[in-house]
Amino acid sequence: MKKLSPTPLASALHEFFGEYLPQLRGMSPHTLHSYRDGLKLLLRFVSTKGRQDPARLDFDDIGVQDVLSFLQHLEIDRHNVAATRNVRLAGIHSFFRFLAGRHPERLEQCQQILSIPFKRAQTRAVEYLEFAEIEAVLAAIDRSKPDGRRDYALLVTMFNTGTRAQEVISVRPCDLQLQKPQHVRLFGKGRKERLIPLWPETAALHGMLLVERKVEPTSREPLFRNHRGEPLTRFGVRYLLSKYCARAKVGSPTLAKKRLHPHSMRHYAEFQTMPSKVSANGQRP
């Protein structure tokens, strides 16, 4: 089989993700993943539309009309909201802005794509959890199983610190201070670093999780992992919250009326009050 030579588009994408974003721009892994996912969807859409092998795509295959059709596809076929559409467009803009500087012969094409405007997105109020609702969610977790004990520690950490989903899945054992003063080191948007106090019960949960999983406190690998040993994802955190909220609705009907999101926990954390049913022993509270 004849070996394919990289197209100019393939080479540009390799430089964009391999050097430009992480090294020259210093973008966070979260931004890299977001841009990668958006451009992956665009390439898949263009290749399917033109019935082409994705490995053979080049600059001429992605014009302004192709990008406009792709954005329409996101909203109509994939049912993405305007905010998600705008995130995908931001990644496309970033790539073609980079491309304009590397391939000036493509400047007109880049300018046309960069002229595509963002769509005004209607913001919705983020729901928050009441004290009793948090207790119901925690009580819905079966801590007799290892995954349940992990989930309990994960959600208690989010309630305690008000961390974003991306921040909590990035926590490593070396980021934890489990002796007084107990705290966790978090890395947020723009790689901003901050220290957040931990409740003694939260610190105890982390200590038991490290012992159970035989993880050294100095480890620099992500603490929260799935049953395959892979780091949890943001989507995994959202799934876990939805699962336990669904279980908790039986005893807390008010949860059924709320559209919850991992960000909901940040609103509760402003009060920094420990739910009475948080416990650090191995039994279900």
Token look-up 């490995």 returns: 55
Amino acid at 227: H
Residue 185 appears among annotated catalytic residues:
no
Dist CA 224 CA 153 (whole Å): 9
Dist CA 212 CA 95 (whole Å): 44
Q: Which is catalytic among the residues 102, 103, 238, 263?
A: 263
Q: Are 247 and 140 in contact (CB under 8 A)?
A: yes
Residue 143 appears among annotated catalytic residues:
no
- The answer to whether the bond into 6 is cis (omega within 30° of 0) is no
CA dihedral 221, 145, 266, 172 (to 10 degrees): -10
Residue 164 appears among annotated catalytic residues:
yes
Q: Which is catalytic among the residues 225, 266, 277, 284?
A: 266
Dist CA 46 CA 49 (whole Å): 5
SS3 58: coil
Q: Name the packing angle between helices 234-248 and 146-161 (round to 10°).
A: 100
Q: Which is catalytic among the residues 40, 189, 191, 194?
A: 189
| Of residues 174, 177, 221, the one with CA closest to residue 203 | 177
Q: What is the DSSP letter of 211?
A: H
Q: Are 254 and 133 in contact (CB under 8 A)?
A: yes
- 10 Å Cβ neighbour count for 152? 23
Token look-up 């959600």 returns: 155
Q: Which is catalytic among the residues 164, 172, 206, 249?
A: 164
Task: Report the catalytic residues.
Answer: 164, 189, 263, 266
